């Protein structure tokens, strides 16, 4: 697809947010993040889900990654630096992503609902009585669905880079990343090393189709009809310089999730929890306490 100046600019900004350096520590390894981070797999809903775990605090927190992400690629600073006495962190790889393969990733119309069910059932399998959620991008959408569908199980929720519906502007951004051969080698190579080129290209292409199918729904809804069902205290964080998710998405979530808080980070982009990890971690910890 030929990109004009504006499209190419958006594509460069978007690709800059993808996180290189995917590496998963083995179970029991402490070296990867400078603290005790274990990795394991467990069978949930007929698939083997990979997760990492750190800390032994009373407050369980599930970390939900974005598109093509994994716990390791998306949440290194949180696994390393969150208060391990207060919190137990679990960073998962949704089915078909990271090391939760097989199965291959697919995108039926209910894939966010499926991910939410898998996420909750994973934490129940790990015997957590109640959990809080930290959801980024697609993981933020999954967190919204989980909070709405399982209100008695979700304690608190922090989301950023998420949207409850798809607009024409969003669709243009998604189309800009469909062809991974146009990604820079620096961005593509780490993901290609994890997935292989064919799987990476196919999955990205299918993700674009998967997210665009919501455009057919009334008002482009992904989960906007579920927002009034969210009961847990919710913190919405938005980077004012996020090139992927316009401010109106954060405002909409804030308006439609009762009692939610909106925190703006003036210099934050889509990956604000990585670029400004110290600030984000303190913000999230203070909210979760």
Catalytic residue among 115, 137, 238, 260: 137
The Cα 103–Cα 101 span in angstroms is 5
The Cα 73–Cα 60 span in angstroms is 20
Catalytic residue among 50, 59, 238, 270: 270
242 is catalytic: yes
Catalytic residue among 73, 100, 242, 260: 242
137 is catalytic: yes
The Cα 85–Cα 83 span in angstroms is 6
Closest CA to 110 of 63, 59, 53, 45: 45
Contacts 24+ apart (CB under 8 A), 175-183: 175/1, 175/208, 176/1, 176/3, 176/7, 176/10, 176/11, 176/14, 177/11, 177/14, 177/15, 177/204, 177/208, 178/1, 178/204, 178/205, 178/208, 179/1, 179/205, 180/204, 182/11, 183/15, 183/18
For residues 131 and 123, the answer to whether their CB atoms sit within 8 Å is yes
270 is catalytic: yes
The β-bridge relationship of strands 261-265 and 234-239 is: parallel
The Cα 107–Cα 261 span in angstroms is 31
Which residues participate in catalysis according to the annotation? 137, 242, 270
């Amino acid at each position: 697809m030929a990109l004009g100046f504006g499209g190419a600019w958006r594509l460069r900004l978007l690709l800059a947010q993808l996180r290189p350096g995917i590496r998963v520590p083995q179970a029991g390894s402490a070296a990867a993040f400078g603290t005790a981070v274990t990795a394991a797999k467990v069978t949930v809903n007929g698939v083997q889900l990979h997760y990492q775990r750190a800390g032994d605090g009373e407050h369980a927190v599930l970390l939900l990654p974005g598109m093509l992400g994994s716990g390791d690629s998306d949440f290194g600073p949180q696994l390393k630096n969150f208060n391990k006495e207060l919190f137990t962190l679990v960073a998962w790889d949704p089915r078909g992503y990271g090391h939760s393969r097989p199965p291959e990733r697919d995108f039926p119309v209910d894939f966010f609902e499926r991910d939410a069910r898998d996420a909750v059932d994973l934490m129940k399998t790990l015997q957590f009585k109640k959990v809080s959620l930290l959801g980024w991008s697609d993981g933020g959408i999954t967190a919204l669905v989980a909070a709405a569908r399982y209100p008695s199980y979700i304690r608190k929720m922090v989301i950023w880079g998420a949207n409850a519906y798809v607009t024409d502007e969003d669709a243009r951004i998604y189309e800009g990343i469909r062809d991974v051969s146009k990604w820079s080698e620096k961005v593509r190579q780490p993901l290609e090393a994890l997935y292989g080129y064919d799987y990476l290209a196919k999955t990205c292409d299918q993700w674009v189709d998967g997210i665009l199918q919501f455009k057919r729904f009334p008002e482009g809804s992904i989960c906007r009809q579920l927002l009034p069902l969210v009961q847990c205290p919710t913190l919405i964080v938005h980077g004012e310089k996020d090139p992927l998710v316009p401010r109106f998405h954060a405002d909409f979530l804030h308006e439609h999730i009762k009692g939610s808080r909106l925190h703006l980070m003036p210099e934050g982009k889509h990956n604000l929890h990585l670029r400004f990890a110290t600030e984000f971690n303190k913000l999230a910890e203070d909210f979760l306490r």
